[in-house]
Chains A and B, each alone.
Chain A
Amino acid sequence: MGFQTVKFYQTGTFTVGNRLLAPDERSVQADENRSNSINSGHRACQGCGEALGARYAIDAAMAESNGQLIAANATGCLEVFSTPYPESSWQLPWIHSLFGNAPAVATGIAAAMKVKGRHEVRVVAQGGDGGTTDIGFGCLSGMFERNDDVLYICYDNEAYMNTGVQRSSATPPAARTATTMPVGSEPGNVFGQGKNVPEIAMAHNIPYVATATVADLRDLEYKVRKAMRLHGARYIQIFVPCPLGWGTASHDTIRMARLAKETGMFPVFEAEHGEVTGVVKIRHKVAIEEYLKPQKRFAHLFGKHAHPETIARLQAIADRNIRKYGLLDEGGNQDV
């Protein structure tokens, strides 16, 4: 079962903290002494979802591993904005090698720790969607297949953001990127291509696969902490809106993530050994337009030369997710 929401304490577990909850029911992020794994002064854009998601995830992993954690990082925004030589924002041992080899580097660290008998030391690998679903994919699949003791975290902002918003295999259909221009009869990214890496990870029958968003901290922390209590290959994909690449306001990052989940566009679930064991239900269902409209990458679908049929196809994708994962409760609303 997924993270249990606390039913009624004013804001319950919707907010980051809640003074009405017992201390052990509070989030890692609410702690005055959280590790702040990526510290202030990093060069991420205003309102960066990836910087936020990484702190949420790594702070939770640090809390679960008592600070005995090493991170291997793929090339990408997260690496570039956090660590321009000689500065770094990271507050844990952290290594960057290449764009495509982070899973292999992490595997090597885990093996070394095992040999040295340092069983308490845990390893995470992390990268963007490009680094994960495209260029690092071979290493990742190998890491899964060998069931190496690594938690791999993919920060999914749906394109190669660091080099200027190129399409990746995680870019959604119809979204405009620098390499999928809004021209022709079917503008933006194509339909029917791309990869669903959480499902591919499940197909490796690894102990744990989950998705999460920066809009639901408590669920995200629950999943990272749970993954850290398990051993073997684990995969979490975190949905992290990118104001620059999506053309959204910097203050809308969390709202966009919430809408992606509430529309069904990004299904939030967890799976153990290849089987879905929990989904986070939609709380207040919204139509896909509400999610698309604030994003400039979908602007060509609206306005004078609108593409209602494309919007309908995107809605159909969301509806399919809702059906497939059972994202709606009878009655549609999960709290009292």
Chain B
Amino acid sequence: MSKPFAITLKPGTSLANLTGTWRSERPVYLDRLPPCNNACPAGENIQGWLFHAESGDYEQAWRVLTESNPMPAVMGRVCYHPCENSCNRAQLDSAVGINSVERFLGDEAIKLGWKFAAPATTSGKKVLVVGAGPSGLSAAYHLARLGHQVEIQEAGPLSGGMMRFGIPKYRLPREVLDAEVQRILDLGVTLKLNTKVARIEQSMKEGNFDAAFLAVGAHIGKRTFIPAGDATKIVDAVSVLRSMEGEDKPMLGRRVVIYGGGNTAIDVARTAKRLGATEAIIVYRRTRDKMPAHDFEVEEALQEGVMIKWLSTIKQAGEGEITVEKMQLDDKGYPQPTGEYETLAADSVVLALGQDVDLSLLEGVPGLELKDGTVQVSSNMMTGHPGIFAGGDMVPSERTVTVAIGHGKKAARNIDAWLRGTVHQAEAKHELAEFQNLNTWYYSDAHQTVRPMLDIIRRQTSFDEVQGGLDETNALFEARRCLSCGNCFECDNCYGVCPDNAVIKLGPGKRFEFKYDYCKGCGLCVAECPCGAIKMVAEET
């Protein structure tokens, strides 16, 4: 035995005394579900990819991210980031700027040319994806990675769906979209443009497809009856935005009235401004707090000089002007007419009242259930017709790019199971990591980094991107603001604070283990774990 300095006799050791027997409760390590992950419609493991970003390993972060979502550069621009709304750090100072770190990772990947790993196996199965919007692209990506042969048939001349023909360039530059679509196609996905699927069953039969995923979106602008003279130009918002991608830009005139209160209305108004309109006025029948558009978008539009007439409906459109009626909210918050009228100068009226789904490709398919103009799907994203799955805007749900991408992922996993004759079992959700589970003493105080905005003149006159990205230093800073809710980030606190040396440190990436022979069950490790990744459970008696 090599004895410590100056010791000649072998001392009896306290290791003979197994103090673990004193315990009535034992600590156990666990992974709790971070609220950001829980809120992400695309099912991203946000805390998981931030963990790698924190150490500056951006490629690994991007790889973990893209296990769920193949389009982080797009997502980091257009996602409404429900993750940030539920981020625990908001209760401390301000939410982690998850969206801006995501964008940074997406942009790094494009800049440095990171590619997806080729699928490890091939299944020999063929899947048809209808529509190259976010939902279709996401499904194609996940199906390809699972080894299936995928063909996307797209009616339009270019990929992207509403990401290209709806969302304006100043929010999503097309080079970014193109780069992320191309990376999906590089996995061996076939994309057939200008190929409208007229009858789904026929297209499946012709191409010998084993299954299909439908993601045709919602493209038919809703109309409302407005008595109008011949001279008034009334157009719908999706057509206006779509024509922005063509050779001939829409002719809206100098005074443009937009009717509606959603994000689309805002996008059209801001687009009209950039096309040279002196006045872009949104007419909306309710109040600002009732508006479906997000507050930050309303704010940005107002900054750019867009005007909004609250509590108003359009009654009539005449030559060069329209008549609006003032509304009043009743007790239940519904707008009611007041009989008071006003005229507004208008060269054109753009209707932004929502979109309907074109379901004609489903005609004659047995077993389907249609409701309110959408296709019903069960929890595995399959329609009532075996082998035909659907997602995105055409099924009942919130209509966002993120939800569409989440549907694509979920459908792909279920299609994969269905093709193999099994049922996909989603992993059981872990218990939520709540703010009370954290010991926030241990985190440095640091507020969210603000992203740079383009100057106002260029925002009003060009289609240059409005919101800038973070650079490496502030992206790293922002990632490190993450509290790692519910998931060990190897801060060594448990290893340090145990008065009984009953925690073994297993080394980088391997976390820790308890020595239950000596753990007395004091619970200090649980109390001092910053991120709530340990809990006490009663010992069986």
Contacts and interface: CB of A to CB of B under 8 A. Distances in A.
Contact of B524 (A85, A93, A254, A333): A254
B8 to A, nearest CB: 10
Given A15-B442, A46-B22, A254-B528, A10 B12 contact: no
A16 to B, nearest CB: 3
A255 B527 contact: yes
B337 interface: no
A24 interface: no
Contact of B5 (A68, A217, A258): A68
Given A7-B444, A46-B22, A55 B501 contact: yes
B477 A8 contact: yes
A310 to B, nearest CB: 28
Interface in B9-65: 11-19, 22, 54-55
Interface stretch (B122-130, B261-269, B317-325, B513-521): B513-521
Interface stretch (A25-33, A137-145, A204-212, A300-308): A25-33
Nearest to B508: A19
Nearest to A82: B14
Interface in A1-32: 7-12, 14-20, 27, 29-30, 32
Chain B CB count within 10 A is highest, among A10, A29, A68, A252, for: A10
B500 interface: yes
A7 B505 CA distance: 25
B492 A93 contact: no
A14 B55 contact: no
B108 interface: no
A319 B444 CA distance: 26
A55 to B, nearest CB: 7
Given A15-B491, A19-B489, A48 B499 contact: yes
A52 B503 CA distance: 13
Contacts of B498: 52
A223 B440 CA distance: 25
B13 A39 contact: yes
Nearest to A28: B496
Nearest to B518: A40
B106 interface: no
A18 B489 CA distance: 9
Nearest to B519: A40
Contacts of B22: 46
B446 A36 contact: no
A335 B442 CA distance: 12
Which of B5, B54, B489, B530 counts the most chain A CB atoms within 10 A? B5
B499 A43 contact: no
A274 interface: no
A17 B4 contact: no
A202 interface: no
B521 A46 contact: yes
Contacts of A330: none
Contacts of B16: 41, 87
Contact of A16 (B11, B18, B493): B493
A39 B501 contact: yes
Given A29-B492, A254-B527, A87 B17 contact: yes
B18 A41 contact: yes
Interface in A72-91: 82, 85-91
Nearest to B494: A16
B5 to A, nearest CB: 6
A327 interface: no
B11 A40 contact: no
A67 B11 CA distance: 18
A42 interface: yes
B103 interface: no
B286 interface: no
A10 B443 contact: yes
A217 B501 contact: no
Given A27-B496, A87-B17, A17 B444 contact: no
B527 to A, nearest CB: 4
A15, A91, A243, A250 — most chain B CB neighbours (10 Å): A15
Contacts of A7: 444
Contacts of B356: none
B7 interface: yes
Contacts of A55: 499, 501
Nearest to B17: A41
A328 to B, nearest CB: 16
Contacts of B521: 46
Given A19-B508, A251-B526, A336-B446, A9 B480 contact: yes
Most chain A Cβ neighbours within 10 Å, of B4, B16, B522: B522
Given A82-B14, A86-B12, A250-B523, A16 B497 contact: yes
Contacts of A41: 13-19, 518
B443 A14 contact: yes
A8 B444 contact: yes
B225 interface: no
A93 B6 contact: yes
Nearest to B18: A41
B501 A36 contact: yes
A91 B501 CA distance: 13
A92 interface: yes
A33 to B, nearest CB: 10
A17 B500 contact: no
B330 interface: no
Interface in A152-199: none
Contact of B445 (A16, A91, A336): A336
A39 B490 CA distance: 23
B13 A251 contact: no
Contacts of B15: 39-41
Contacts of B442: 11, 14-15
B491 A17 contact: yes
A38 B501 CA distance: 8
A23 to B, nearest CB: 11
25 contacts: A9-B444, A10-B489, A11-B491, A15-B492, A17-B490, A17-B493, A19-B489, A19-B508, A30-B505, A32-B505, A40-B15, A41-B15, A47-B499, A47-B523, A52-B524, A55-B501, A67-B4, A87-B17, A88-B11, A90-B11, A93-B7, A251-B524, A251-B526, A254-B527, A336-B446
Given A43-B17, A44-B499, 19 more contacts: A7-B444, A10-B481, A14-B441, A15-B491, A19-B55, A19-B489, A19-B508, A20-B54, A27-B492, A40-B501, A40-B517, A41-B15, A41-B18, A46-B521, A47-B522, A90-B11, A250-B523, A251-B522, A335-B444
Interface of A: 7-12, 14-20, 27, 29-30, 32, 36, 38-44, 46-49, 51-52, 55, 67-68, 70, 82, 85-93, 121, 217, 243, 249-255, 258, 333, 335-336
User: Which 6 pairs show the lowest CB-CB distances between chains A and B?
Assistant: A17-B492, A16-B496, A251-B523, A41-B14, A47-B522, A40-B518
